[in-house]
Homo-oligomer: A and B are copies of this chain.
Amino acid sequence: MKNIKLEVSYDGTAFHGFQVQPNQRTIQGELEDALQRLTNQPVKIIGSGRTDAGVHAKKQVCNFKINHSMPLSKWPVALNALLPEDIVVNSASEVPLEFHSRFDVRQKTYRYSIYHHTYVNIFRRHYTWHYPYPLDVEKMKAVSKVFIGEHDFTAFSSAKTTVENKVRKIYAADLWKKENEIYFQITGNGFLYNMVRIVVGTLVEVGRNKMDPEEVMELFEKKNRSLAGLTAPAKGLTLWDVQY
């Protein structure tokens, strides 16, 4: 029995998220289907975490256990030949049998992209939130640093969140503008449901001068979702990296 770890990228546009759901096109579903066709065995994959419908991944990690003699280097090519064009396997490696893609995550990085211009950028429309109104990017940049450290992110998570402990540690948070795109990149030990998208929605409230930096900081104490910004659209979000 081998434990194989895959690094995959996907364009989330045409998926109902990562996790298998009946009668829906999901990343996990497509990967398990390709693995089953390749190996003639039912295969269950474990992802580093779910991503929502429309959310992309530059690097998502998953693993599966299998008895199969195919050399490691052949797995990506063989799987890519069977996968649809919006998922690609970038690498395969063998890991200890006890490795678990979700439990063993040390840190994750997400990047959010806002296209800040009057008109849509046709080539980035599936990968950015088109925001045509004025934004104070310098103010957003300053407030982005507020998230660094250990905080209670209750106010920045969906009401649907079921986990009890809503404290997460953020190691890095950066916001910068290049040409017409504003990027927000955040690295932490874990993220709650919709957390990055609500943080971005809140940063946009700051950028349009609807919220002060102090009000953002108070949200860690107030723990009230309704005081934070709206949930930014899924399509601007990309799972950028997962570290073990």
Contact = CB atoms under 8 A, between A and B. Distances in A.
B119 A76 contact: yes
Contacts of A11: 122-123, 125
A94 interface: no
Contacts of A127: 123
Contacts of A89: 119
Interface in A191-217: none
Contacts of A173: none
A9 interface: yes
Taking residues whose C-beta sits less than 8 angstroms from the other chain, chain A's interface range is: 20 to 34
Interface in A99-129: 119-123, 125, 127
Contact of A10 (B10, B85, B122): B122
A79 to B, nearest CB: 11
Contacts of A90: 119
A120 B88 contact: yes
A87 interface: yes
A56 B85 CA distance: 19
Nearest to A8: B122
A86 interface: yes
Contacts of A80: 119-120
Determine the main DSSP class of A at the interface with B: mixed
A199 B11 CA distance: 31
Contacts of A56: 122-123
A128 to B, nearest CB: 11
Contacts of A58: 123
Given A90-B119, A119-B90, A125 B85 contact: yes
Interface in A1-41: 9-11
Interface string A75-93: 0100010000111111000
A219 B120 CA distance: 42
A130 to B, nearest CB: 10
Nearest to A117: B90
10 contacts: A9-B122, A11-B122, A11-B123, A56-B123, A58-B123, A80-B120, A85-B125, A86-B125, A88-B120, A88-B122
